[in-house]
């Protein structure tokens, strides 16, 4: 027979186990510790903040999810494993600005490989909304053998094929020239 105190403790433990584990909080955004991708469970590797201009204007919080934590950006980029990056915008941003930022980062990180990916980059551009509003969420999920699944506000926009595209896209945040170094450091779990 369980005492009243034991019943309360059991109920508390059940509630804790049933609730999602929140792993990271940054700039008022909280991300869960785990996320399900197809038949895999990915863990939050790290969380970082995109700051723009010398004024360090907060743009979005990003979380990187992997099958196993890693602080090695090159290994993460090379790995043919599922990975996801989640963005929660902390300010409204125009489609034009998002596209410019991502194009600039892609060109800086992949250089001469950019033209070979141009048609797929154009597809990604076309899927961006006119304005991403404060509080909006966007996810980019790389699935080996499938490509990058793009979701904006929970709505699937489609899949862009190719491991080469997946690697190139993730170099925006994990490459040698990320939008800001503290964002990359945070995503690698070192922030």
Confidence (pLDDT) at 15: 38
Residue 88 has pLDDT above 80, yes or no: yes
Residue 20 has pLDDT above 80, yes or no: no
- CA separation for the pair 186, 62 (Å, rounded): 9
- Class (C level, CATH) for 21-187: alpha beta
- CA separation for the pair 136, 154 (Å, rounded): 9
Residue 17 has pLDDT above 60, yes or no: no
Query: Three-state DSSP class for 188?
Result: coil
The larger pLDDT score, comparing residue 21 to residue 166, is at: 166
Confidence (pLDDT) at 23: 63
Confidence (pLDDT) at 191: 60
- CA separation for the pair 95, 97 (Å, rounded): 5
Binning pLDDT at 50, 70 and 90, where does residue 133 land? very high
Average pLDDT over residues 4-8: 47
Binning pLDDT at 50, 70 and 90, where does residue 38 land? confident
- Identify any residues that bridge with 34 across adjacent strands, giving them in sequence order: 43
Question: Any idea where the domains of the chain sit in the sequence?
Answer: 21-187
Average pLDDT over residues 127-142: 95
This prediction has a pTM of 0.85
What percentage of the chain carries pLDDT values higher than 90?
74
Binning pLDDT at 50, 70 and 90, where does residue 89 land? very high
Residue 111 has pLDDT above 70, yes or no: yes
Query: Three-state DSSP class for 30?
Result: strand
Average pLDDT, the chain: 87
Fill in the DSSP letter of residue 55.
Answer: T
């Amino acid at each position: 027979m369980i005492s009243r105190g034991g019943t309360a403790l059991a109920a508390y433990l059940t509630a804790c186990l049933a609730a999602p584990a929140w792993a990271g909080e940054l700039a008022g955004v909280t991300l869960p510790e785990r996320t399900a991708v197809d038949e895999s469970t990915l863990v939050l590797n790290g969380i970082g903040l995109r700051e723009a201009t010398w004024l360090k204007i907060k743009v979005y919080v990003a979380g990187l999810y992997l099958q196993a934590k890693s602080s090695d950006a090159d290994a993460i980029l090379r790995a043919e494993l599922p990975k996801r990056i989640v963005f929660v915008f902390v300010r409204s941003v125009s489609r034009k600005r998002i596209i410019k930022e991502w194009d600039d980062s892609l060109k800086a990180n992949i250089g001469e490989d950019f033209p070979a990916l141009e048609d797929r980059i154009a597809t990604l551009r076309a899927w961006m909304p006119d304005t991403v509003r404060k509080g909006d969420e966007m996810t980019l999920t790389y699935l080996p053998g499938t490509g990058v699944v793009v979701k904006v506000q929970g709505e699937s926009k489609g899949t862009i094929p190719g491991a080469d595209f997946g690697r190139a896209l993730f170099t925006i945040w994990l490459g040698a020239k990320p939008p800001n170094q503290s964002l990359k450091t945070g995503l690698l779990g070192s922030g």
